[in-house]
Amino acid sequence: MLLEIYVQDGCFGCERSFELAERAREAFPEMRVEIVDIRSEDGVYRSQVAATPTYILDGEIISLGNPSPSELEAMLAMRAIRETR
């Protein structure tokens, strides 16, 4: 599983994204979590990223803006369960 969190400087709420990324890493150590600055040269821009923060799990947008920690954990857990079937 790959969780990409798209952020940018000056984004309201993007600081919270770093905290949620860390929580996701702790709860799902087998999952890759990447913070992507859409304005950096190495940032990979995706056409579906219209605002920041945007959360993309395995290529699918799961949240525009920061979900609550419990919402994020539930979304990730559901995907993990699907992948084990």
What's the CA gap between 12 and 28, in Å, rounded? 26
Give the pTM: 0.88
Q: Are 39 and 10 in contact (CB under 8 A)?
A: no
What is the predicted pLDDT for the residue at 17? Answer: 97
pLDDT of 20-48, one tens digit each?
Answer: 999 999 999 999 999 998 876 665 556 66
Domain locations along the chain: 2-84
> Can you identify the CATH homologous superfamily of domain 2-84?
Glutaredoxin (3.40.30.10)
Q: Which residues contact 2 (CB under 8 A, 6 or more apart)?
A: 31, 32, 33, 34, 57, 58
